């Protein structure tokens, strides 16, 4: 097989990149290890920044998002036994949209197939080769068990943190920066209407909790837990008891609604960035290049920002317009990546209970929370980072 851009990974990054390239007249093939059913059902992020939602509309894949997504004009910080609303739209003029990552993926797959683009699902043993040449290739075994080779001009590694793309780069040609956090998130998806119309970030002495949602009928809830725990340690009854303890407010009308748990996950938390995001003709995008703790709701949004830049750079390069944009790709992406890394670290550090924290550390967290909600300047800074900074280029 032959194409211009071989894309490894059919997550939001890979699929959106393929769509953007298609709109620009650039051919691509997406190679994905999982089958279509798995890709469309895996539950991940759910908050779209304002620039992300705008881009999806601009490129013709935002209709269902606008019909079914939930626009939000604020969020709640719950601490000191009270709610403190952050008026995102009032402070920034922008909104966020709650719309599940798997829904974005479904929309992109449907559009890709309608455009007669190729997505090679259930492709195993995927390997990129000859990345420093002008004719890289990707080998894999297709869904029928037949060995295949895809020759291309460029390879886009959009296959996530555990994918093969980043691991194909020699260790001495890339620098990794990482911070591990001493806790994990336990998340459930419950078949019950949300208990509040907005997201609630709860700071509690027992640990952080988050009330979110995926639709008017589905609620997403998270608990901070020890990184050594397993899902078996947390039967549904224990999860609900802990959510009640961390989210309930004395004297408040808030009441946590319970319902059947339809999905559960346990995820460790880390910050991770590699520099540069390019090796020869291999370009990394999304989680293949960087990970943020989910507190700041930046993961999928960073992936979208990456491929927006990458699509433009590759279009110019493959159309004979020179290599200036692809040469600048890593630097341009990393400016936004590091800003999002800092914001996500800041939110995480402010809201979580640290195992070795003393009373002094907790007082510092509460002081920061109070400043954010009492100072218009501090609140605006948080709000503009949360809703998404404008694209620079």
Query: Which residue numbers are catalytic?
Result: 72, 201, 294, 298, 386
End-to-end CA distance of the chain: 34
CA 295 to CA 292: how far, in whole Å? 8
Rounded (5°) CA angle 38-39-45: 115
CB 112 within 8 A of CB 19: yes
Instruction: Write the burial class of residue 321 (CB in 10 Å: 0-12 exposed, 13-18 middle, 19+ buried).
Output: exposed
The 3-class secondary structure across the chain, one letter per residue, is: CECCEEEECCCHHHHHHHHHHHHCCCCEEEECCCCHHHHHHCCCCCEECHHHHHHHHHCCCCHHHHHHCEEECCEEEEECCEEEEECHHHHHCCCEEECCHHHHHHHHHHHHHHCCCEEECCCEEEEEECCCCCCCEEEEECCCCCEEEEECCEEEECCCCCCHHHHCCCHHHCEEEEEEEEEEEEEEEECCCCCCCCEEEECCCCCCEEEEEEECCEEEEEEEECCCCCHHHCCHHHHHHHHHHHHCCCCCCCCCCCCCEEEEEEEEEEEEEEECCEECCEEECHHHCEECCHHHCCHHHHHHHHHHHHHHHHHHHHCCCCCHHHHHHHHHHHHHHHHHHHHHHHHHHHHCCCCCCCHHHHHHHHHHHHHHHHCHHHHHHHHHHHHCCCCCC
Question: Residue 349's closest CA among 177, 213, 224?
Answer: 224
* Greatest Cα-to-Cα distance within the chain, rounded to the nearest angstrom: 67
């Amino acid at each position: 097989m032959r194409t211009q851009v071989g894309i490894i990974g059919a997550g939001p990054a890979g699929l959106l990149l393929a769509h953007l390239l298609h709109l620009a007249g650039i051919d691509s093939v997406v190679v994905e290890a999982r089958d279509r059913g798995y890709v469309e059902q895996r539950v991940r992020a759910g908050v779209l920044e304002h620039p992300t939602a705008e881009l999806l509309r601009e490129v013709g894949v935002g209709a269902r998002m606008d019909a079914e997504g939930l626009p939000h004009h604020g969020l709640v910080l719950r601490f000191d036994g009270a709610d403190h609303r952050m008026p995102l739209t009032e402070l920034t003029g922008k909104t966020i949209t709650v719309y599940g990552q798997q829904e974005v993926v479904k929309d992109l797959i449907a559009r890709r197939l309608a455009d007669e683009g190729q997505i090679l699902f259930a492709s195993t043993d995927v390997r990129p080769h000859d990345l420093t040449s002008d004719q890289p290739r990707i080998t894999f075994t297709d869904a029928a068990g037949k060995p295949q080779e895809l020759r291309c001009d460029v390879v886009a590694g959009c296959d996530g943190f555990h994918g093969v793309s980043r691991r194909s780069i020699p260790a001495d040609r890339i620098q990794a920066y990482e911070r591990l956090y001493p806790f994990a998130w336990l998340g459930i998806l419950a078949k019950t209407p949300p208990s509040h119309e907005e997201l609630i970030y709860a700071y509690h002495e027992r640990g952080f909790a988050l009330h979110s949602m995926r639709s008017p009928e589905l609620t997403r809830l998270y608990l901070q837990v020890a990184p050594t725990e397993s899902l078996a340690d947390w039967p549904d009854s224990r999860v609900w008891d802990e959510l009640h303890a961390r989210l309930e407010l004395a004297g408040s009308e808030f009441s946590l609604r319970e319902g059947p748990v339809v999905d559960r996950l346990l995820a460790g938390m880390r910050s991770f960035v590699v520099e540069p995001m390019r090796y020869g003709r291999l370009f990394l995008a999304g989680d293949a290049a960087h990970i943020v703790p989910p507190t700041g709701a930046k993961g999928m949004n960073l992936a979208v920002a990456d491929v927006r830049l990458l699509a433009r750079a590759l279009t110019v390069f493959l159309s004979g317009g020179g290599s200036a944009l692809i040469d600048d790709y890593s630097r341009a992406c990393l400016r936004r990546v590091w800003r999002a890394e800092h914001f996500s670290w800041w939110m995480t550090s402010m809201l979580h209970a640290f195992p070795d924290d003393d009373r002094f550390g907790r007082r510092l967290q509460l002081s920061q929370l109070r400043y954010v909600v009492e100072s218009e300047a501090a609140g605006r800074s948080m709000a503009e980072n949360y809703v998404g900074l404008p694209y620079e280029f």
